[in-house]
Amino acid sequence: RGALRLVLGDQLSEGLSALSDIDPARDVVLMVESVAEATAWKHHKQKLVLVWSAMRQFAERLRAKGLRVRYVTLDDPDNTRTIAGEVTRALGEGAFDRVVRTACGKWGLEQALLNLDVGVPIETREDDRFLCSRAEFAAWAEGRRELRMEFFYREMRRRTGLLMDGDKPAGGRWNFDPENRKKLPKGVRPPQRLRAAPNATTQTVIEMVSAGFDDHFGMLDAFGWPTNPEEAEATLEHFLAHMLPEFGDWQDAMAWEQPFLWHGLISPALNIGLLDPLDICRRAEAAWREGRAPLNAVEGFIRQIIGWREFVRGVYWLKMPEYGLRNALEAEGKLPWFYWTGETDMACVADAVRSARDHAYAHHIQRLMVTGNLAMLLGVHPDAVDDWYMVVFADAYEWVEMPNTRGMATFADGGIVGSKPYAASGAYIDRMSDYCKGCRYDVKQRLGDDACPFNALYWDFIDRHAQRLAGNGRMLMPLKTLSGMDEAERRAFREKAAALRSAMGV
Ligand code: FAD
Ligand code: SF4
């Protein structure tokens, strides 16, 4: 008898550890289109299409290599709807003496699979597509008073040798962030993006999802995500050649109806295994060494991948399941309805929600400083914030979504991922975008009907959490400004914020 090799929808890498020593004569690869996984959150239609189309094409590639694949489609009448159910059903046929799998990216599913009692051994292997294993991260974190991405990142630079000149960082600095905060000058527009036109498999899955998952969030018309390695390679190559040189300069910029700017658009493919993080970074480094892209852009880009991406995954596995219950700011509010409909006069929010609806994507600064910032200032419960981010983005998997949402964007983790809340008033959004000039609200006003809602909400937030934030050196400035306000002014912000919350259904 052989091994049943389980491959999940975000494990579509031919070098996956669960497949490394596969015996084509005796082993079978199990892949499952699971209704339970697709509807635990009502994922964006584009995410369903991406994952199922990519899974089907992955199965075909394995078959072409001579491997046997048991692929359970959604419409298979015997599909038990869950991954655990399908493992049990396959084993019931008696042809396997063990299960081999790669550890998954969701704590709850991992527990379910670890505790599965199926009468044969289940071997769980490390997901070595990440550059830092869970054990290595835990060893790095051991004994540290605080976990700071910057120090972890330096370790990762040393370990991978990326952007290193001997034991020194290339260019004499580890971090070129200060150069990467420019506002987009008027009239500067990014080059046209290369998007992947839906191939035949993707077309079939688009029809299936349109028919069966119409009640899920989002539009399918503009689907353009890569669903196989060739399409992912084309997306990456286009980014490296045309976008990377300016990625740094405009990394934090936002612009009306410009959903992609100079960003990579690689996370949907990367997170399901169609791209390899180290390969991406080596090629970005080569672009700098060969004079095709400046160091501030390449360093900023590589930091996102070997720094932030690996760091948040490390935090997730180190702190779960307790992390998923954290609510350090005691936020209890509901998510405003316009996060789902985009029906708001706040131009910045409407643009981010439109991007999420049309593309299952919003770039980092929209996620952090618009939708995340607003949810934190309003005091929306972190569970509701998590749910939204899990649903609306094509790249959302709990290991990366949750630390970004509960940690970086809303400070619900109390300061594990970030050293301070990324709270900002309208002035920040105005500085980094062209949103405010076309907005019904006036970003300069703090009170009154036309005032930008971010302003009163920001000062109310600082006021509400003043005690909690008092020991945080990075919050000194706003706390000092707050203490210079008289009680009447503070009350006016409190009242305005309460009215805004009520009007937004929080
Ligand atoms: P680029 O801007 O081109 O960056 C390149 C790559 O760096 C990304 O593809 C991604 O792999 C990595 N990266 C950048 N920032 C981060 C980060 N903070 N954490 C982890 N990886 C990062 N990313 C996800 O992959 N899935 C999510 O569910 C997700 N949810 C987020 C929620 C919030 C509230 C915030 C603030 C960020 C979230 N991110 C998430 C991180 C980041 O916004 C996306 O990775 C990025 O926007 C993806 O688009 P891109 O490929 O064009 O990225
Ligand atoms: Fe957003 Fe306020 Fe600017 Fe309008 S004025 S776009 S709500 S920051």
Report residue 184 CA to chain centroid gap.
24
Q: Compute the half-sphere exposure of residue 49: CA atoms within 13 Å on the CB side of its CA.
A: 34
Residue 72 backbone dihedrals phi, psi, to 5 degrees: -100, 110
Sign of CA dihedral 473, 477, 479, 483: positive
Q: Say if CB 429 and CB 443 are below 8 A apart.
A: yes
Where does the pLDDT of residue 195 fall: very low under 50, low under 70, confident under 90, or very high at 90 and above?
very high
Tell me the CA–centroid distance for residue 39 and ligand 1, in Å. Answer: 23
Closest ligand 2 atom number to CA of residue 436: 3
Instruction: Give the pairing type, strands 2-6 and 96-102.
Output: parallel
Distances (CA, A) of 372 to 339, 364, 404: 11, 10, 9
Q: Say if CB 423 and CB 329 are below 8 A apart.
A: no
The 10 Å Cβ neighbour count of residue 125 is: 14
Helix (H) or strand (E) holding 96: strand 96-102
Distances (CA, A) of 349 to 213, 426, 439, 462: 26, 12, 10, 21
429 lines ligand 2 (CB under 6 A): yes
Ligand nearest to the CA of 442: 2
Where does the pLDDT of residue 489 fall: very low under 50, low under 70, confident under 90, or very high at 90 and above?
very high
**Helix (H, G, I), strand (E, B), or coil: what is residue 152?**
helix
Tell me the CA–centroid distance for residue 227 and ligand 1, in Å. Answer: 18
Q: Compute the half-sphere exposure of residue 101: CA atoms within 13 Å on the CB side of its CA.
A: 24
Tell me the CA–centroid distance for residue 347 and ligand 2, in Å. Answer: 6
> Which pLDDT belongs to residue 188?
87
Flag whether pLDDT at 183 surpasses 90: no
Flag whether pLDDT at 187 surpasses 90: no
> Which pLDDT belongs to residue 93?
86
Give me the chain's average pLDDT, please: 96
249 lines ligand 1 (CB under 6 A): no
Tell me the CA–centroid distance for residue 279 and ligand 2, in Å. Answer: 39
Distances (CA, A) of 86 to 6, 34, 121, 276: 10, 9, 16, 28
The 10 Å Cβ neighbour count of residue 170 is: 18
Residue nearest to ligand 2 atom 8, measured at CA? 426
Closest ligand 2 atom number to CA of residue 370: 1
Flag whether pLDDT at 231 surpasses 90: yes
Ligand nearest to the CA of 445: 2
Q: Say if CB 496 and CB 456 are below 8 A apart.
A: yes
Tell me the CA–centroid distance for residue 267 and ligand 1, in Å. Answer: 7
For a ligand 1 pocket test, name from 304, 316, 366 the mutation site with the most ligand atoms within 8 angstroms of its C-beta. Answer: 304
Q: What is the pLDDT of residues 270-290, one digit of tens each?
A: 999 999 999 999 999 999 999
The CA-based angle 393-398-402, given to 5 degrees, is 90
Single-letter residue type at 217: F
Where does the pLDDT of residue 421 fall: very low under 50, low under 70, confident under 90, or very high at 90 and above?
very high
368 lines ligand 1 (CB under 6 A): yes
Flag whether pLDDT at 181 surpasses 90: no
Q: What is the pLDDT of residues 140-163, one digit of tens each?
A: 999 999 999 999 999 999 999 999
Where does the pLDDT of residue 94 fall: very low under 50, low under 70, confident under 90, or very high at 90 and above?
confident
Q: Which of 11, 32, 40, 45 is nearest to 76 (CA)?
A: 32
Tell me the CA–centroid distance for residue 358 and ligand 2, in Å. Answer: 21
Flag whether pLDDT at 267 surpasses 90: yes
Q: Structure tokens of 402?
A: 């949750």
Where does the pLDDT of residue 174 fall: very low under 50, low under 70, confident under 90, or very high at 90 and above?
very high
Q: What is the largest CA-CA distance in the chain?
A: 79
Which residues on neighbouring strands pair with residue 351, listed in sequence order? none
For a ligand 1 pocket test, name from 363, 364, 408 the mutation site with the most ligand atoms within 8 angstroms of its C-beta. Answer: 364
Above pLDDT 70, what percent of the chain?
100
Distances (CA, A) of 503 to 213, 334, 373: 31, 12, 18
Q: What is the pLDDT of residues 44-93, one digit of tens each?
A: 999 999 999 999 999 999 999 999 999 999 999 999 999 999 999 999 98
Which residues on neighbouring strands pair with residue 98, listed in sequence order? 3
Q: What is the pLDDT of residues 299-356, one digit of tens each?
A: 999 999 999 999 999 999 999 999 999 999 999 999 999 999 999 999 999 999 999 9
ipTM of the complex: 0.99
> Which pLDDT belongs to residue 339?
98
426 lines ligand 2 (CB under 6 A): yes
Above pLDDT 90, what percent of the chain?
95
Where does the pLDDT of residue 33 fall: very low under 50, low under 70, confident under 90, or very high at 90 and above?
very high
Closest ligand 1 atom number to CA of residue 247: 3
255 lines ligand 2 (CB under 6 A): no
Q: What is the pLDDT of residues 8-23, one digit of tens each?
A: 999 999 999 999 999 9
264 lines ligand 1 (CB under 6 A): yes
405 lines ligand 1 (CB under 6 A): yes
- CA trace torsion 98, 101, 107, 113 (10° rounding): -20
Task: Find the mean pLDDT for residues 113-134.
Answer: 95
